[in-house]
Amino acid sequence: MPTSTAEPSIDGGRCARCRRAAGFTLIEVSLVLLIIAIVLALAIPRLRSLTGAELSRQARRLTNTFRILRSEAILTGRVYRLNYDVGLERYWVTVVDDCSDPSPGVPEDGPLARPTTLTDPVGISDIVLQGIGKVQQGQVMTCFYPDGYIDPTVVHLDDGREAYTLYVNSLTGRPALVAGYFDVDYGQQ
């Protein structure tokens, strides 16, 4: 029978201990859970702010539509009407001869021709028009005239948590956008 002349390995005892200590300690598991909790605490508010970003984007887009229509009315000498359907959360542009005429007008044939529908959860809270008041359902409109005048209008957009107020500045006749829901008083005329 062959016999080994090699000495017994000292590592043999350590390997047995290594096999027994192969799991994680409670402190290591707790530390990993703490790191995951911190990462989630930082990431979740950013995910929630995606709807806030969409609200901001839609509010800026509507404000730019106001600015473009004002400029187009001045440059072309035509009357533009921005039509809103508050219940369907959309707006579109038409060209009219007289803004007091209730006929639908001719659809604009440029980049503003397509109706814009707000993406959920962004919606129109209400629209305040001088002489009409606050409208929360139905169709209303804002007219843009060749002399640069815009019908006094306040549009409130929100996503259920945040809001933006778009209004026509009565001194300059230009649209302005502010974060938050604000009532703008144009006075009695």
Domain limits of the chain?
Answer: 35-179
- Long-range CB contact pairs, 180-187, < 8 A, 24+: 181/125, 181/156, 183/128, 183/154, 184/128, 184/154, 186/130, 186/152
Q: Compute CA distances 149 → 53, 70, 72, 94, 165, whole Å.
A: 30, 8, 12, 17, 19
SS3 call for 157 = strand
Task: Specify the higher pLDDT residue, 64 or 50.
Answer: 64
Section 113-130 average pLDDT = 89
**At residue 137, does pLDDT exceed 90?**
yes
Contact 69, 112 (CB under 8 A): yes
Residue 173: pLDDT band (50, 70, 90) is: confident
Residue 177 CB contacts under 8 Å (≥ 6 apart), including other chains: 59, 60, 63, 164, 165, 166
Tell me what the pLDDT averaged over the chain comes to. 83
Residues 39-55: pLDDT tens digits? 888 877 665 555 578 88
- pTM as predicted: 0.70
Supply the CATH classification number for the domain 35-179. Answer: 3.55.40.10
Contact 157, 66 (CB under 8 A): no
Nearest to 158 by CA among 139, 174, 179, 140: 179
**At residue 7, does pLDDT exceed 80?**
no
Nearest to 123 by CA among 47, 54, 65, 179: 54
Nearest to 93 by CA among 119, 75, 67: 67
Per-position DSSP letters for 90-106, written without gaps between them: EEEEEEES-TT--S--E
